[in-house]
């Protein structure tokens, strides 16, 4: 049976996956960060620790076939924190994957690697990276790292370009485009575990939203077929004011774009 490790199991997405994958019968090791995870059932395979430490990575990856790597800083932060959690820790994880001959690493990328695309663009999987901050930039690094470890070391990689997945219905206009429901999330990650020989590929981690910022008609290499659609909440959401400011409304990254943004009239001399 495939042994799967899940890092970031204490986070919002990680918690959904930890419970849901177990219910689907996945043989899972769940890893938290600084705090120990309280086991969900007797004998649950849990661990925790700082992934910048090779010994912690060894505990995460011993005997593992597939790693679902959800750990890391998940919002915009100053660059030094991003470098430690999303670049350095990811490097340690990949080197650990080499040591332990992990077959496949599933990397939690983000829509924020593309956040400076305008909202009226519909992106294909080969769209140019346009990160909307240091967090998005770290996801560009992560996708390139996944690619490199496949090309150079034969570790399969899947970059999941996750939209908005919080275990609840979409809450605002932007999420009508970026939302991914929990059923789709679980199906997506299950495909990441089960899909035969993928080499390296990227997949949009969103539901089948009518207003998706992505061209979902091109399909994907792992057979992810979303069935949920944020449009079911459109009338309710459109009856409320849009919480996004005017900058955030122009770009796919939404509020992440507004942070530390230089408006056109203040650019140049």
* Contact residues for ligand 15L, defined by CB under 6 A: 74-75, 110-112, 162, 164, 178
Shortest distance (Å) from residue 1 CB to ligand 15L: 30
Shortest distance (Å) from residue 209 CB to ligand 15L: 13
Q: Which is nearer to ligand 15L, 178 or 220 (CB)?
A: 178
Rounded-to-10 torsion of CA 84, 88, 94, 100: -80
Q: Which is nearer to ligand 15L, 164 or 220 (CB)?
A: 164
CA 153 to chain centre: 22
* Residue whose C-alpha is closest to residue 69's, from 47, 89, 55: 89
Q: Which is nearer to ligand 15L, 74 or 159 (CB)?
A: 74
Question: Can you give the length of the chain in residues?
Answer: 269
Q: Which is nearer to ligand 15L, 28 or 176 (CB)?
A: 176
Shortest distance (Å) from residue 165 CB to ligand 15L: 8
Is 135 one of the annotated active-site residues of the chain?
Answer: yes
**Which residue out of 135, 149, 214, 224 is catalytically annotated?**
135
Sheet with 45-48, side-by-side order of all strands: 45-48, 27-32, 3-7, 66-69, 104-110, 156-162, 200-205
List CB contacts of 212: < 8 A, sequence separation 6 or more: 122, 177, 178, 204, 206
d(CA 37, CA 56): 15
Annotated catalytic residues are: 135
């Amino acid at each position: 049976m495939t042994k799967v490790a899940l890092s970031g199991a204490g986070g919002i997405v990680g918690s959904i996956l930890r419970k849901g994958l177990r219910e689907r019968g996945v043989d899972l090791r769940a890893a938290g960060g600084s705090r120990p995870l309280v086991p969900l059932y007797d004998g649950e395979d849990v661990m925790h620790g700082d992934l910048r430490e090779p010994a912690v990575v060894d505990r995460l990856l011993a005997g593992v076939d597939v790693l679902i790597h959800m750990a890391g800083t998940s919002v915009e932060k100053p660059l030094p924190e991003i470098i430690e959690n999303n670049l350095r820790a990811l490097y340690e994880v990949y080197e650990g994957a080499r040591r332990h001959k992990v077959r496949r690493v599933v990397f939690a990328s983000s829509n924020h690697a593309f956040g400076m695309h305008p909202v009226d663009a519909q992106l294909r999987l080969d769209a140019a990276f346009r990160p909307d901050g240091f967090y998005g930039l770290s996801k560009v690094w992560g996708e390139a790292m996944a690619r490199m470890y496949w090309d150079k070391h034969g570790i399969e990689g899947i970059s999941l370009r996750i939209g908005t997945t919080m275990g609840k219905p979409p809450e605002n206009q932007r999420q009508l485009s970026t939302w991914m429901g929990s059923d789709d999330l679980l199906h997506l990650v299950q495909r990441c575990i089960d899909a035969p020989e993928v080499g390296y590929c990227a997949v949009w981690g969103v539901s089948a939203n009518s207003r998706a910022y992505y061209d979902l008609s091109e399909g994907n290499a792992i057979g992810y077929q979303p069935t949920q659609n944020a449009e079911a909440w459109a009338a309710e959401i459109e009856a409320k004011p849009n919480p996004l400011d005017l900058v955030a409304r122009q770009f796919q990254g939404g509020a992440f774009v507004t942070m530390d943004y230089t408006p056109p009239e203040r650019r140049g001399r």
